[in-house]
Chain A
Amino acid sequence: MKPKAILIDTKDNVATAFQELKAGDKVTVSLGGKDVTTTLVMDIPFGHKFALADIAAHKPVVKYGETIGLATAAIKAGQHVHIHNMESQKGRGDK
């Protein structure tokens, strides 16, 4: 079966969609013998991220086992994680 999403590092708190995913979809990602199942609370486009667990405001968003930015608002498990609720620690060039 085609996986709906991918988890890249066991330290990550986000996964990335491999398909167009819909609110209500149950998505399981596996890595290193560990499964994490998340119920999506909104649609997630292909290539975009969703939270695997709640992330408090100002806490790190972790992908590749590293901090890719900080949450700018509280993020719930299953929510879309993108520029509306996280920000680079390096600033963004287009704003």
Chain B
Amino acid sequence: MEFQGYRRKTGRVGIRNHVLVFPTVVCSSEVARMISEKVPGTVYARHGGGCGHVGEDKEQVIRTMLGICGHGNVASVLLVANGCEVITPDVLTPELDKIGQSYAIVSVQEDGGTPGCVEKGVKLATKMVADAAKLKKVSIPLSELMVGLECGGSDAFSGLTANPSLGVMADKLVAQGGTAIFSETTEMLGCENVLAQRAADDKVSKDIYRVISEAEKTAMSGGVDIRGTQPAPGNIKGGLSSIEEKSLGCIRKGGSSKIVQVVKYGERPVKKGLVIMDATAADVMNNTGLLAAGCQLIVFTTGRGTPVGANIAPVIKVSTNSVLYKKMTPNIDVNAGVIVDGEGTLESVGQQVFDKVLAVASGELSKAEALGHREFDIHFRMIV
């Protein structure tokens, strides 16, 4: 099976053709916004990072920025520097050169402050948009599609309707040679054994145990015993009998394939198939990590409702129940609540999600995209 997308000179594949105006630090983020607002056809990324990072955190922010700036959905990137930040453009450009990504640079400190930087940035971005418009779509096999799986604002139906439907879609995608990534490590607690049994090899199995144990320790170091309270009394009242059952309701959105690799937040997998990303459960930061890893689109289930999209990629929303669908129809692409209503099954909704993924990959706008949702946030733990 194929979709219509862009084959970049970086070797990466895109389903959108964005020119990204990217501030390398929070200090230049407003300047980046001013440039982007003056140049139709650009998107920009507001974030709080770029300075004060140390150690692994710094590596994570750099890895994420590189994944976003070199993304298959990004035709070219305008880096908007302040000038004295930790992650200046010259921290990013050696890798962008290496992969062959097109970029240009403006600097608030070197280009005449805000007005000069905006003026120069607008000129550069205008040219970049014109160049990007010349690129043509081609047929690309589904094996080159990478889909991120996410849930937010979950409810009692999440684990019964929407997440298992996503699992059906993920199994179909993996059967076609494609890649699906699920994450939210804290929501895998209690499922170490279950997941490890599905590991493709020993290394993956060890990685699964390691990342779940580390997530638990990180929470513990913040004074919170997250395992000790699971399932919560409210969960038990609602019918959940064990932490395994609770976690599986989340994990099932990855389907039932073998797990081929465990990657860090924002790390690009080298294997195709079902992948785990060790990442925060915070929705927008999680989405950014999935995109930095190379996902060209995200499918997002919700029971309570959330409008979140992403700046460089479509987000497809799947509601878990029809009450939410009726309340937030403008935001929801597929309603898995029909399973409860007797108007659909896990298989039929799974097929519907799969068909929607294919259509959106070939250019159909998702609801979040059409509404102008462009949420973006990089996950890091501290700034010193």
Contacts and interface: CB of A to CB of B under 8 A. Distances in A.
Instruction: Across the A-B interface, give the 5 residue pairs with the lowest CB-CB distance, nearest first.
Output: A88-B242, A47-B239, A48-B239, A93-B228, A68-B245
Interface stretch (B13-21, B248-256, B365-373): B248-256
A82 B241 contact: yes
Interface of B: 156, 159-161, 164, 190-191, 193-194, 225, 227-231, 233, 236, 238-239, 241-245, 248-249, 251-252, 256, 339-342, 345-347
A35 interface: no
Given A69-B245, A90-B190, A90-B243, A8 B346 contact: yes
Interface of A: 1-3, 6, 8-9, 16-18, 30-32, 45-49, 61, 63-69, 81-83, 86-90, 92-94
Contact of B241 (A32, A45, A86): A86
Contacts of A69: 241-242, 244-245
A6 to B, nearest CB: 5
B248 A64 contact: yes
A64 B342 contact: no
A49 B164 contact: no
Contact of B239 (A45, A64, A94): A45
Contacts of B239: 16-17, 45-49, 82
Contacts of A8: 160, 164, 252, 346
21 contacts: A6-B339, A8-B252, A9-B256, A18-B160, A30-B345, A46-B156, A47-B239, A48-B239, A64-B251, A66-B248, A68-B245, A68-B248, A69-B241, A82-B239, A83-B241, A83-B242, A89-B244, A92-B242, A93-B225, A93-B227, A93-B228
